[in-house]
Amino acid sequence: MKSLVAVLLVIVLHAGCATTAGEPSATPSPTQVTTPTAEPSVSEPSLTATPVPNLQAGVISENGVFRASWESRPIEPAINEIHEWVLHIETVDGEPAAGAIVAVNGDMPAHGHGMPTQPQVTADLGGGDYLVEGMSFQMGGYWIVDVTVTYDGVTDLVRFGLEL
């Protein structure tokens, strides 16, 4: 009887994380950044402190190199709808990181899966602003959005927490 209960519990827990056939895989494989002109790596989530949920501005990167903010279009990200973000990235001294190489990835730590899409920076809007298309969250809960920035020969990671 205990085995049956355990199996049912596993099925119920995984049902909320399941994707339907034909959906893209959750997380790309990591790559290594070797030069500032290369694409930044999309790394596995790090074991650093959990980002504050829904803090949209003034988030400092892990090594203290960059400060970043985000805004969603529409203003509140909807579940299961593809939307876009505008990222603003600057150095901690306030210099806009214009012309940076930026990669975006996200995951839901409590469920062990990533986003159903692979967001892409599709435009450098100037002044340290970047358009990210393909943002999507398939369920409510706590998400971490990782933004890897390479600018002026330095790469660092900005982590945003998002509670949906």
Tokens representing residue 121 in the block: 């920076």
> Is this structure's pTM higher than 0.85?
no
Residue 80 to residue 157: CA distance in whole angstroms: 26
* Cβ atoms 85, 132 nearer than 8 A: yes
pLDDT for 18:
42
Query: Which amino acid is present at 113?
Result: H
Q: What integer pLDDT is reported at residue 33 of this predicted model? A: 34
With cut-offs at 50, 70 and 90, classify the pLDDT of residue 76.
confident
Q: What single-letter amino acid sits at 88?
A: H
CATH (one of 2.60.40.10, 3.40.50.410, 2.60.40.1930, 3.30.1360.200) for 55-164: 2.60.40.1930
Domain ranges of the chain: 55-164
Tens of pLDDT, residue by residue over 13-70, are 344 444 433 344 443 333 333 333 444 444 444 445 567 777 889 999 999 999 999 9
